Amino acid sequence: MTDLRVRTAVPDDLDAVLAFWRTAAEGTSISDDRAGVERLVDRDPGALLLAERDGELVGTVIAGFDGWRCHLYRLAVHPRRRRQGIGSALLAAAEERFVRLGGRRADAMVLVRNETAHHAWAAAGYGPEEHWRRWVKPLTD
């Protein structure tokens, strides 16, 4: 796939990214608004990766590294562009970033019922750790 380009997002991309997630992503997140994504790009300008083909946004992933852990979020490919290697290309770019920054292990939260995602993550070499659960506490109303 020669015409696929993966690049980091800039503030001008963010409205398009939010619209893209409404079509392509699994579920929504507490940070899914302009302020939330702006904060991400402001805090870590290299974290939000976009895949484009012929200038069209076809996929995203957030490769977040806080100096301690490497977390992947928002892996999403346009529904009409799936099974073309875009998700794999995004994960490869994210992993390159992590390694460059000194990260040692990447992880992602994956819904138990999201079987398509299980296939994609497994194909990229990820596996579940059944002995963990996510413990959460909201910090805003």
Ligand X SMILES: CC(C)(COP(=O)(O)OP(=O)(O)OC[C@H]1O[C@@H](n2cnc3c(N)ncnc32)[C@H](O)[C@@H]1OP(=O)(O)O)[C@@H](O)C(=O)NCCC(=O)NCCS
Task: Tell me the C-alpha to C-alpha distance, in Å, between residue 119 and each of 107, 115, 122.
Answer: 15, 6, 5
Among 45, 51, 133, which Cα is nearest to 90's? 51
**41 lies in the binding site for ligand X (CB under 6 A):** no
Task: Pick between residue 67 and residue 79 the one whose CB is nearest to ligand X.
Answer: 79
Chosen residue from 14, 24, 37, 93 binding ligand X by CB under 6 A: 24
CB 20 within 8 A of CB 56: no
Task: Say how many C-beta atoms besides its own lie within 10 A of residue 120's C-beta.
Answer: 19
**93 lies in the binding site for ligand X (CB under 6 A):** no
H or E element that contains 96: helix 86-101
**10 lies in the binding site for ligand X (CB under 6 A):** no
**Nearest-angstrom CA–CA distance, 69 and 29:** 20
Chosen residue from 50, 77, 94, 106 binding ligand X by CB under 6 A: 77
**62 lies in the binding site for ligand X (CB under 6 A):** no
**119 lies in the binding site for ligand X (CB under 6 A):** yes
Those residues whose C-beta lies under 8 Å from the C-beta of residue 25, and which sit 6 or more positions away, are 60, 74, 76
- Using the structure block, give the residue that is written with the tokens 């904060």: 39
**44 lies in the binding site for ligand X (CB under 6 A):** no
**28 lies in the binding site for ligand X (CB under 6 A):** no
**75 lies in the binding site for ligand X (CB under 6 A):** yes
Segment near ligand X (CB under 6 A); pick from 9-17, 31-39, 79-87, 93-101: 79-87
Q: Which residues bind ligand X (CB under 6 A)?
A: 24-26, 75-77, 82-88, 108, 110, 114, 116-117, 119-120, 123
